[in-house]
């Protein structure tokens, strides 16, 4: 009878630890993958985790350069895909199993208004 209780108690503790771990992982994942301007600016190497949330929450096409700067901060200096009519933001190592390239958010402007935003890899 006593060993039965110990097995039940062990299963209960094990299940509780597993559920708690899953909950903590889910909360951490949600926090890391939800866009916020402060986190975007503070943690440039983590932007790759937030970019999908950014593009879901904010329609960039039609925004002005000032609105983009207000949302994303200043663009990355000496960026890989930099041209006269765009802003480029470094986002970190590419997503996937083998990360050998970097990902960049390239925002194109015409007359100071966003006409396209795309993710590119170098």
CB 107 within 8 A of CB 114: yes
| Summary mean pLDDT of the chain | 87
Compute the residue count for the chain: 122
Distance CA 120, CA 106 (A): 7
pTM, two decimals, is: 0.76
Question: Residue 88's pLDDT band (boundaries 50, 70, 90)?
Answer: very high
* DSSP annotation string for 1-29: -HHHHHHHHHHHHHHHHHHHHHHHHHHHH
33-121 classified as CATH 3.30.450: no
pLDDT tens digits, one per residue of 31-69: 677 898 999 999 998 999 999 999 999 999 999 999 999
């Amino acid at each position: 009878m006593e060993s039965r209780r110990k097995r039940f108690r062990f299963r209960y503790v094990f299940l509780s630890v597993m559920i708690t771990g899953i909950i903590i992982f889910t909360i951490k994942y949600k926090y890391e993958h939800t866009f916020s301007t402060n986190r975007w600016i503070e943690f440039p190497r983590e932007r790759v985790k937030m970019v999908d949330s950014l593009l879901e929450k904010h329609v960039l096409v039609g925004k002005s350069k000032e609105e983009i700067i207000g949302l994303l901060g200043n663009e990355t200096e000496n960026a890989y895909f930099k041209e006269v009519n765009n802003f480029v933001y470094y986002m970190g190592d590419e997503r996937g199993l083998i990360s050998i390239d970097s990902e960049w958010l390239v925002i194109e402007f015409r007359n100071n208004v966003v006409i396209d935003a795309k993710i590119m890899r170098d």
